[in-house]
Structure 1
Amino acid sequence: MKKYFIQKSPFVVPTTDGKLIEEHHGLTTSNSEISIAHMVAPPKWSEPFQTPEFDEYTYIIKGKKQFIIENDIVVLEAGQSIKIEKNTRVQYSNPFDEPCEYLAICKPAFSMETVNREE
């Protein structure tokens, strides 16, 4: 048995908000320890506040992304990254005019049951 796995066809998560989510590793590959996803958030995109039960690391490839972390507004640009600790209230958005391409890494893996999105 090989001790590596090459992901050639990531799972494309169906969305209704124009955001591209390609999960390379995570629950879709039977990995509950970590998830790694390539994402592209369209201009003017946002999602509800959430309080995830996982640490989330984000690395910006292109564009800018806004984070509201508890009461702080943080904007990251290409080449910058952030770690947001689990059980932290956060909102992700791209209020800018250009798409934002980034990588998101969650530990343990992202799941809808543990992201705790507000309605």
Structure 2
Amino acid sequence: MKKYFIQKIPFVVPTTDGKVIEEHHGLATTNNKEISIAHMIAPPGWSEPFQTPEFDEYTYIIKGKKQFIIDGTTVILEAGQSIKIERNVRVQYSNPFEEPCEYIAVCTPAFSMDLVHREA
């Protein structure tokens, strides 16, 4: 039995907002409920509704900048920086900048629409 798995075909999550989401490990790809790892590109002007997820989310910025509003505090990360946002904290993710933002997101437990609790 193999002791490793190389992900060659990530699941591309369908989106309507121009954001690219490639899940490498998680519920959609490997049925892993404990962790999800995704490569993402947020286009300029992109934003999501506020949410209060039931998972910790780690973000590492590869290129560009990303804005986070965390319990009313605005934080901007640049390439080479990372952040951990605790579960059950109200947060909004956006890219109000002029260039795309490329980043890696890791969620524990794995990202699930049932756990993200996005506001309408």
TM above 0.5, yes or no, is yes
Runs in 1 of length 4+ with deviation above 6 angstroms?
none
Number of matched residues?
119
Question: 2:31: which partner in 1?
Answer: 30
Q: Once the two structures are aligned, what percentage of the paired residues are identical?
A: 82
Q: Which amino acid aligns with 2:34?
A: E
Which residue number in structure 1 is paired with residue 17 of structure 2? 17
User: 1:7: Cα distance to partner?
Assistant: 0.1
What TM-score results when the alignment is normalised by the length of structure 2?
0.99
Aligned-residue offset at 1:3: 1.2
1:3 aligned onto 2:15: no
Residue 47 of structure 1 pairs with residue 48 of structure 2: yes
Cα deviation digits, residues 16-40 of structure 1 (max 9, x gap): 0000000000001110000000000
CA distance in 2, matches of 1:60, 1:112: 23
Q: How many angstroms apart in 1 are the aligned matches of 2:3 and 2:31?
A: 15
TM norm structure 1: 0.99
Letter in 1 for 2:11: F
Residue identity in the other structure for 1:98: E
> Which whole-Å CA distance do the structure 1 matches of 2:109 and 2:102 have between them?
22
Amino acid at match of 1:62: K
Give secondary structure in 2 for the equivalent of 1:104.
strand
- Map 1:1-119; keep pairs closer than 5 Å: 1-28=1-28, 29-119=30-120
